[in-house]
Amino acid sequence: MAKIFQATHVGKVRYNNEDSLIVIEPETYAVADGMGGASAGEVASQMLVETVKNFLAKSNKPWDEKILAQAILLANDKILNTARRHEEYHGMGTTATVLSLDNGKAYFAHVGDSRLYLLRKNIFQQMTEDHSYVETLVRRGELTAEEARVHPMKNVLTQAVGAVTNLYIDMGNFSVEQGDVFLLCTDGLTNMVANELIVKILQTADNPAEALVDAALNAGGRDNVSVIVAGVD
Ligand code: CA
């Protein structure tokens, strides 16, 4: 059984919290970072987590990466259709990072620039790839990871759930080990807090989710920030 912590905060600059997060079952989680005018970002990220939850409730376990991807594709259709019917929602979209642990395996599916990390012993590894303009430049060798973190176009996504008809979903699975710590987060954490501090908090804080949100706020809190931490005993 995993030990779970979750926290979300609007931050110090924005007026709305467009992030959504959900613990669907003790070992299945999702975070979503919505975008769009007015309240559209909140609508998109909330539709994502609700659609994933409802789709999984009707699916047989294990909820492997293909099932998680189907759930995201269904959310893509729903968000696109809602945006078509309501002018105020035109252009809305959301990231999606979904993780399901089952019987010693971790399954994930992902779109956008929210992230799944694994802390195993002292190795902190990003398991998802960002679907962003700057990440494309990093992969092409035109930017370093540190240059990407502070790049003026770092918020430009190459795709988002609900914003494109042909969605590419990053997905995978791997074996879980005792002591593994999983972190799902929106970019309001990773743009504000360096990896070294994230690792230190994951290893030492009584409530790592609250402590990570506090660290993002202390660093300026320029964006909404959402965090789910799951530790495997
Ligand atoms: Ca964000």
pTM of the model: 0.96
Question: Which residues are bridge partners to 118 per DSSP?
Answer: 125, 182
Going from N- to C-terminal start, the domains of the chain cover: 2-232
Distance 78 CA to ligand 1 centre (A): 21
Distance 188 CA to ligand 1 centre (A): 5
Quick one: average pLDDT of 122-133?
96
Distance 122 CA to ligand 1 centre (A): 27
Distance 232 CA to ligand 1 centre (A): 27
Structure tokens at 28: 């299945």
Residue range 175-225, pLDDT digits in tens = 999 999 999 999 999 999 999 999 999 999 999 999 999 999 999 999 999
Whether residue 144 is predicted with pLDDT greater than 80 in this model: the reply is yes
Distance 173 CA to ligand 1 centre (A): 25
**What confidence tier does 154 reach under pLDDT thresholds 50, 70, 90?**
confident
> What percent of the chain stands above pLDDT 70?
100
Distance 43 CA to ligand 1 centre (A): 14
In angstroms, the CA 32 to CA 26 distance is: 18
Residue range 43-88, pLDDT digits in tens = 999 999 999 999 999 999 999 999 999 999 999 999 999 999 999 9
The predicted structure's pLDDT at residue 1: 65
| Whether CATH 3.60.40.10 fits 2-232 | yes
Distance 41 CA to ligand 1 centre (A): 10
Distance 225 CA to ligand 1 centre (A): 7
